[in-house]
Amino acid sequence: MRSIWLLPDREQAGIIRVATPEGIVNLGAAFDVTTLPAAIVLGVPEPVLRENISSDFLFAQFARMAGGTAVFCLSRRAGQDVKGRTVCITNLQLLDDGEAPAIPPPVPRISLSEEDSKAVNALRARLAAPASASAEVVQELLNAVRLHRWASTFASADTPRNANPYSWTPKKKD
């Protein structure tokens, strides 16, 4: 498993910075995003954020990929950018055949800004909290991944107006 943290773009620089075990680099240097299925969104779609206003909301995605590999993403609000818009932090896990996602995701082994560290810890805390609604939604998605072998893409919330719909969402269940 390879875990990559996509850091919030609070300055709106237009560059996605990621925390990898090697350090903080631009997304393109860490991972070829063109290999991701079209349904996977890096972060949380704006309509989903508007529909789920709780600050504790987590958005999870899972996709089966060629060769038995998979990708698992967890995203959470992480404050606002310089213009007052919501920014998110995302943990992207690249899974080898047969690997399960790490819940909660591993902490980056490099030094992050205080704001980014707080965002990572908040996401991890939501998953570890007993009887957390966020943790239950993520668990429901992972159960669906195990049960619905026919489906290739999964999301923990419905995504209206998504040009590339997921195979499974909570409203589609069966």
Tens-place pLDDT, residues 69-108: 999 999 999 999 999 999 999 999 999 998 999 998 988 8
**How far is the CA of 8 from the CAs of 14, 66, 157, 170, in angstroms?**
11, 29, 21, 27
Q: With the C-alpha atoms ordered 89, 146, 63, 172, is the resulting torsion angle positive or negative?
A: negative
Q: How far apart are CA 110 and CA 174, in angstroms?
A: 41
Structure tokens at 108: 């980056």
What's the DSSP call for residue 66? G
pLDDT of residue 162 exceeding 80: no
Tens-place pLDDT, residues 116-125: 898 998 888 8
pLDDT value of residue 173 = 55
Q: How far is CA 23 from the centre of its chain?
A: 20
pLDDT value of residue 91 = 95
On whether the CB atoms of residues 72 and 78 are closer than 8 A, the answer is no
Q: How far apart are CA 31 and CA 94, in angstroms?
A: 10
pLDDT value of residue 132 = 74
pLDDT value of residue 153 = 95
pLDDT of residue 129 exceeding 80: no
Tens-place pLDDT, residues 14-46: 889 999 888 899 999 888 999 999 999 999 998
pLDDT value of residue 66 = 85
**How far is the CA of 132 from the CAs of 53, 118, 123, 156, in angstroms?**
16, 18, 12, 14
CA dihedral angle for residue 75, residue 77, residue 81, residue 85, rounded to 10 degrees? 110
Question: What pTM does this model have?
Answer: 0.91
Q: How far apart are CA 115 and CA 32, in angstroms?
A: 26
